[in-house]
Amino acid sequence: MLAANLLADGRPHLPVGGFWDLELTRNPGGAFGILPQSTLLFFLATLLIVGGVLVWGLRSGQAPLPLGLIAGGGLGNLIDRVARAPGGLQGRVVDFIHFHFWPTFNLADSAIVIGVALLILHEVRPHPSETS
């Protein structure tokens, strides 16, 4: 909400050496803006993934930080899809972090990516019961 309000004028803010800035975009699609006409698909997929991550985390008790980041990021984007225009589960996700060599993204996207990376590290590292 803060990014949507502060960046509503459409101009980039806080440019840092031509490398990155804060710029408001509204993404109806998935990562990198793919399938922009499939907002309902992304709503349902996000709902399913967040539900699955929460169930897995509660049952396994493993990797609470990575799973929390994935679920929290997914819920953040899900809230945008529910609460933002045009409504009817067709809302657009607010993206605002713009590196000039990468598509614009948001903090929820960052949480998901970091959570997945940590989850992969958790799964590939040896666990104490496997090393004995």
Q: Using one digit for the tens of pLDDT, what is the confidence trace for 89-100?
A: 788 999 999 999
Instruction: Please check whether residue 80 lies inside any domain of the structure.
Output: yes
Instruction: Please check whether residue 67 lies inside any domain of the structure.
Output: yes
Segment among 48-52, 80-84, 127-131 with least mean pLDDT: 127-131
DSSP-derived letter for residue 29 is S
Instruction: Please check whether residue 50 lies inside any domain of the structure.
Output: yes
Catalytic residue among 9, 21, 80, 109: 109
Catalytic residue among 9, 21, 80, 95: 95
Query: In the prediction, which pLDDT does 120 show?
Result: 93
DSSP-derived letter for residue 102 is S
pLDDT band at 130 (very low <50, low <70, confident <90, very high): low
Please say if the pLDDT value at position 131 is more than 60: no
Q: Which amino acid is at 100?
A: H
Q: Is 80 a catalytic residue?
A: no
Q: Pick the more confident residue, 114 or 87.
A: 114
- For the chain, how many structural domains are there in total? 1
Instruction: Please check whether residue 54 lies inside any domain of the structure.
Output: yes
Please say if the pLDDT value at position 105 is more than 90: yes
Instruction: Please check whether residue 37 lies inside any domain of the structure.
Output: yes
Q: What is the pLDDT of residues 22-49, one digit of tens each?
A: 999 999 988 878 888 888 888 898 999 9
Q: Is 9 a catalytic residue?
A: no
Instruction: Please check whether residue 22 lies inside any domain of the structure.
Output: no
Domain membership of residue 114 as a residue range: 31-124
If you average pLDDT over every residue of the chain, what do you get?
A: 88
Q: Give the C-alpha distances (Å, rounded to integers) separating 25 from 1, 22, 32, 41, 84.
A: 13, 10, 11, 20, 13
Instruction: Please check whether residue 60 lies inside any domain of the structure.
Output: yes
